[in-house]
Amino acid sequence: MALGVLFALLATSVGFTLYDLSLRRHDYQILNLAGQLRVNAASMHQQARNYLRDTPMEHDAYQRDLGLFYADLRRQIKLSDDIIAGFKARRLPPELTGQDAPMTYKWDAASRHQLDISAKDWAVFKSGLQAQLGDDPEQPRLNWGAEYIAQHGGKMIASTDRLARSFQTMMEAKLAQVERHNQLALGAAALIMIGLLGFLHHQLMRPLRLTMVGFKRVAQGDLGYQVPVLAQNEVGLMADAFNQLSMRLHALFQLTDRINRGKDLNATLRFVKEAFEPFFPVDWIGLLMLTPEGQQLGLERTEGASRHGLREGDAFALHDPVLARALHQPNAVQLDTLDTAAGGSFAHALHQARLGSAILLKVGSDKQPEAVLVFASTQPGAYTQDQVELLENVAGQLSHALDKTVFLERLVVAAVQGLSKLAESRDPETGDHLTRMALYSALVAEELGKTEPYKQVIDAAYVRRIHQFAPMHDIGKVGIADSILLKPGALDAAERAEMQRHPGIGGEVLRRCEQQVEALGYPIFQMAVDIAEAHHERYDGSGYPAGLVAGDIPLSARIVAAADVFDALTSKRPYKSAWSIDTALQAMEADSGKHFDPDILAALQRAMPRALEVYAQHKHV
């Protein structure tokens, strides 16, 4: 009975409120149009002042302003005419309101009085303006018209402002009436509710108390705790929803813990895939990262079944429509790859790989996103908005997991590269030698990886590592005395033997770095050790320090050796001028099979168009 009375009271109150609010929507429409009237007046006034400030002195400029200033002026006059005519008629046509039918109104006396004044002000203003513009609509006197608006527009602005305030006052009075009615209704409802509280207290207290216990347990970290569901009423439904939330939180924290166990990129992506599979279909994960020259996104690593058309090392333009959206918009990008209307090579590659749906999530800071993580399913339309939001909510954890692998690796590498630059600074060589030879090494490795048998060895990660570690080739020079390193003339036999110790010194320094980071779970320096120790080995075995031959020389060291010599030949040194590109390549070809690996020289030739871009950007001659 009490509930019936309460319902009737509330229904009556709600009905009255909805009816009154329907009338208020009309009032808001009036206020909106009055605001447009004021904005229109202010816009005409400002445009006139701007026109007078830049009055055209030539015929072409005048013709231009007929299509700009005068066209805007005519549109503004018509809009003001329409609004005032609608106000005076108490009937606004659909063209002004956007509604399906005309709207009619009842206004208070103050609003009607102010409308009469504002309508009269507009009629006087419009008449004066038309007189100044003249009788020829094709050749109006724009300057006279602008002067009239600049002189009298302020009065029109003030008049429309008073009209808007009058309408607002009327609206506030009506809303106050609604508020008084609601207060009375709420007072009566409160009395009834007091009676109901006794019943609710008795029937629902125990279930609510148990639910509160559950909230506290979860707040204290007992994720996954389940509240007993004692009844199938509202409280029971709430408890059931709480239990689902608790389980989801428990699963997400487990997910975060697991993906953070990854000690290298492969393990991290594997954990990510396994952790998300209970939440939505994940058949393939790909990580795209900026290539060394920073002009493309390369497919650094994948997890899942191999996909034709998506191979590690594939590169895509930064301006690719899908990838550009993923990098620069704040939210994840959801893509149905069966619909390739999004365009771009990456969407096409997903389509060719028979992947039906994808979510792209940027990784890194908003200012400098460095990577895109792609979750894909073979099912078209596999992902819902809730699943996209789930990924966005754990984006921070995913970024942190990658920080521990890729980005932390870069931090460690950057520290050792700084030591490499210190070693380089003690050498008489000048310019951006480290920058150039590192980029040359990456370009050669990338070209070499397109051919057999190197396809199975060189992937995007290999190219990235050789770009990172190539500058460390001469790190061992930190252990060579200045009297030898900086000696201007030729070295004697003892000095030359001492200088030839620097590959071994560099290898030992980097091997100790490897031991330190490997203890933390980040084994990343083996390639650096190979480069430092073997970049002075020669293909025919005549190099030092170990006299390695051909394939016994680590591939990374063979690549860096060619890149280092190419840069040395084409750069100016205190003891020589820079050689031309052709001369340098000819000299290196003469040493093919002796100093250099023939396959690597061939790759250098194929990479030459891009190498020349590096040379032009960083040359020191």
Q: Which of 571, 293, 568 is nearest to 442 (CA)?
A: 293
Output the pLDDT for position 526.
82
Joined together, the tokens standing for residue 14 give 């709600």
Output the pLDDT for position 206.
65
pLDDT by residue (tens digit) across 273-300? 777 777 788 888 888 887 766 778 888 7
- Give the residue extent of every domain in the chain: 2-191, 224-259, 265-391, 426-618
Output the pLDDT for position 590.
92
pLDDT by residue (tens digit) across 167-201? 888 888 877 777 777 777 777 777 777 766 766 66
Joined together, the tokens standing for residue 37 give 């009237």
Give the DSSP letter of residue 331.
S
Decide which of 392 and 473 is more confident. Answer: 473
| Superfamily (CATH) of domain 426-618 | Hypothetical protein af1432 (1.10.3210.10)
pLDDT at 2 over 50: no
Output the pLDDT for position 505.
83
**Cα–Cα distance, 371 to 364 (Å, whole number):** 7
Q: Do 2-191 and 426-618 come out as alike in CATH topology?
A: no
- Considering the domain 265-391 in this protein, what is its CATH number? 3.30.450.40
Joined together, the tokens standing for residue 500 give 């030839």
Decide which of 332 and 13 is more confident. Answer: 332
Residues 6+ positions from 215 with CB-CB distance below 8 Å: 242
pLDDT by residue (tens digit) across 245-264? 666 666 666 666 666 665 66
- Alpha carbon 344 to chain centroid distance? 18
pLDDT at 521 over 60: no
Q: What is the pTM of this model?
A: 0.49
Domain 2-191 indexed as CATH 1.10.10? no
pLDDT at 520 over 60: no
pLDDT by residue (tens digit) across 52-88? 887 766 666 667 667 787 888 888 888 888 888 888 8
pLDDT at 602 over 90: yes
**Cα–Cα distance, 81 to 89 (Å, whole number):** 12
| Side chain identity at residue 220, one-letter code | Q
Residues 6+ positions from 404 with CB-CB distance below 8 Å: 260, 262, 263, 268
Burial of residue 491 (number of CB atoms within 10 Å: 0-12, 13-18, 19+) = middle
Mean pLDDT rounded to a whole number for the chain = 78
**Cα–Cα distance, 448 to 466 (Å, whole number):** 13
Output the pLDDT for position 430.
47
Output the pLDDT for position 235.
64
pLDDT by residue (tens digit) across 300-320? 778 887 676 677 767 888 888
Output the pLDDT for position 597.
92
Query: At 554, is the pLDDT very low, low, confident or very high (cuts 50, 70, 90)?
Result: very high
Decide which of 1 and 536 is more confident. Answer: 536
pLDDT at 368 over 60: no
Q: What is the mean pLDDT of residues 461-484?
A: 82
